[in-house]
Amino acid sequence: MGETTHSLSDKRYRSISDSVYKIVTLALCSMSFVFIIILLIVLFHASLASIVVNGLRFFTTTTWNPAINSKVISVDGFSAMWGANYGMLVFFVGTLGSSILALLVGVPVGVGIALFISEFGPKRLDGPITLLLQLMAGIPSVIFGFWGILILSPWIRKFFAPALGKYLFFIPIFSGQVYSSGFLSSGFILALMIIPIIASISRDAMAQTPVLLKEGGRALGLTDWEISRKIVIPYARQGIIGGSILGLGRALGETMAVALVCGGADFLPKTMFYPINTLSAFIVTSLDSAFTDPSGMYVAALGELALVLLAITMIVNISARLLVSKGFLSNPENVVQV
C-alpha cells in the first residue's frame, strides 16, 4: 500500500483524505446547530398536547391544578384530566421578578467591582480579584442554594426583612408577613451568581477605553471618579449592558439555587417577603408529581414551561450576544457623556 509514496496517485489519495477530514469535522462542528434544532423539535413535540389543550389559559391563569384524581377525558385528540387547569403565571412572574431583583443588586455590584479592577484598585490586586470572580462563578448552583437555606434565608427572615419592614413599611411591597424563603432570598442568591459575569464583561469593556481619552480627562483636572463616570463608563456602556443582559439570561434559567430558596409558592407574591416559584425551579421539582398524572398532560405542560423558558432566555441571550460582539464599541458617537 505504501510502495509508491511519491507517485501522482498518492497525491490524489492525500487530497481525498483532506476532503474527508474536512467533511467529518464540518459535520461535528455543525452539531451545535443540530442540537438547537433537535432541542426545539423535541420540546415542541413534547409540549404539543399542552399547547393545544391549554391554549391561552396557559399564559393567563395562575392556577396549576393537574386534577390527577379526576377522570381521563379526550380533548382535541389529546388525553387530559377532567377539570385540570395549567396556568404558568405564578412561575413566570417569579422568574421575571427574581431575575430583575438580581439585576438591580448585581449590576451596581458588578460594575463597582469592574471599576475597582480597571480604575481604582492597585494593579497587583487585579489578578487575584479576577481569579476569585472566576472561582466564584464555578461554584455549583446547588451549593449556593444550600448556603441560601443555611445562612441567607434565615438572615433575611431575622434581620434584613424586618429592617426593611421597619423603615419602608409605608411602601406596600415591604410590609406584612415575612416568610423565610422567597422573593428576596431568590433575588439575592441569583445576584451573587451573576455578579462574576457582569463584572468580568464590564471589566473587559472598560479596559478598551483609550488611554488618550482618560489622560485628556485627567489633564482637565477630573478626579478618578469623574474620569470613570464621564469617560470610562460611557465608553464601556455597551459592554456593561451586554454583560448585564447575559447575566439576566443566566438568572432566568438558573435552577437549583432558586429551587432551594424560593419557597415553592403556588400563588402570586403580594410583597417582597412572599415565597415565590420560578419556571425552572418548578420544572425541576415537579417530575415526580408529573408521573402521577395518568393522562400525561402534566409532563407535556412541564415541556411547555421549558419551551417558554427557552424562548425567554434565547431572546435575552441573542440580544446580549449582538450587543457584546457585534457593533461593540464600533460606534464612537454618544460614547462620552457630559
Partner 1 sequence: MDLMEAQQERMSKEKSETLERSDENTSSINSQMSPGDRIRMSSLNVYYGNSHVLKDLNLTIEDRKITVIMGPSGCGKSTLIRTLNRMNDTVHAFKLTGEIALDGINIYSKEVNPTLLKLRVGMVFQKPNPFPISIYDNVAFGPKIHKLSKNRAEMDEIVMQALKQAALWEEVKDRLKANALSLSGGQQQRLCIARALAVRPEILLLDEPASALDPGSTAKVQELMVELKKDLTLVLVTHNMQQAATVANKVAFLYNGSLVEVGQSPDIFENPQKKVTEDYISGRLT
Partner 2 sequence: MAQVETPQEKRKLVEIRGPRNFRSRVLTDKIAKTACLGVILVAFYPFADILYLFILNGVRSISWARLTENTVGGNSLGGGGLSNALEGSLFLIGLSALIVVPIGVFGGVYLAEFSNNNWISKVSRFTADILAGVPSIVLGYVGFSLLVLYFGWGFSAMAAAITLAVLMFPYILRTTELALRRVPESIREGALALGSNKTSIINRLTLRFALPGILTGVLLAISISVGETAPLIYTASFSNYATTQLFHSPVGYLTYMVFVFSQIPTSEAHALAYLASLLLVLIVLAINLASRVGLRRLTKPLESEG
Query: Which residues bind to partner 1, rule: CB under 8 A?
Result: 123, 210, 212-213, 215-223, 226, 230-231, 332-338
| Of the candidate residues 21, 82, 159, 169, the single one contacting partner 2 (CB under 8 A) | 21
Answer yes or no whether residue 327 interacts with partner 2 by CB under 8 A. Answer: no
Q: Provide CB contacts within 8 A for 18, sequence distance 6+.
A: none
Cell numbers for 170, please give them.
409605608
Answer yes or no whether residue 39 interacts with partner 2 by CB under 8 A. Answer: yes
Q: Which of residues 223-242 bind partner 2 (CB under 8 A)?
A: 223-226, 228-229
Give me the sign of the Cα torsion angle 87, 90, 95, 100. Answer: positive
C-alpha radius of gyration, the chain, whole number? 26
Taking CB within 5 to 8 Å according to partner kind, which of partner 1, partner 2, none is near residue 14? Answer: partner 2
Q: Spell out, one character per residue from 189 to 228, where the chain touches partner 2: x when CB under 8 A holds, - when not.
A: ---x--x---x-----------------------xxxx-x
How many residues in total does the chain contain?
338
CA distance 66 to 305: 14
- How many chain residues interact with partner 2 (CB under 8 A)? 86
Contacts by residues 292-295 (CB-CB < 8 Å, ≥ 24 positions apart): 292/66, 292/68, 293/66, 293/68, 293/81, 294/68, 294/72, 294/81, 295/72, 295/79, 295/80, 295/81, 295/84
CA distance 228 to 215: 12
Work out whether strand 78-81 and strand 85-86 pair parallel, antiparallel, or are unpaired.
unpaired
Answer yes or no whether residue 321 interacts with partner 2 by CB under 8 A. Answer: yes
| Of the candidate residues 168, 171, 220, 318, the single one contacting partner 2 (CB under 8 A) | 318
Which CB atom, from 106 or from 271, has the smaller least distance to partner 2?
A: 106
Which CB atom, from 134 or from 292, has the smaller least distance to partner 2?
A: 134
Cα separation of the two ends of the chain:
75
User: Per CB under 8 A, which region of 61-69, 135-143, 205-213, 269-277 contacts partner 2?
Assistant: 135-143
Contacts by residues 80-83 (CB-CB < 8 Å, ≥ 24 positions apart): 80/49, 80/53, 80/295, 80/297, 81/293, 81/294, 81/295, 81/297
Which CB atom, from 118 or from 271, has the smaller least distance to partner 2?
A: 118
Taking CB within 5 to 8 Å according to partner kind, which of partner 2, partner 1, none is near residue 36? Answer: partner 2
Answer yes or no whether residue 159 interacts with partner 2 by CB under 8 A. Answer: no
User: Per CB under 8 A, which region of 48-56, 57-65, 157-165, 299-307 contacts partner 2?
Assistant: 299-307
| Element spanning 86, H or E | strand 85-86
Q: What minimum distance in Å lies between the beta carbon of 176 and partner 2?
A: 26
| Of the candidate residues 4, 15, 69, 331, the single one contacting partner 2 (CB under 8 A) | 15
Q: What minimum distance in Å lies between the beta carbon of 239 and partner 2?
A: 16
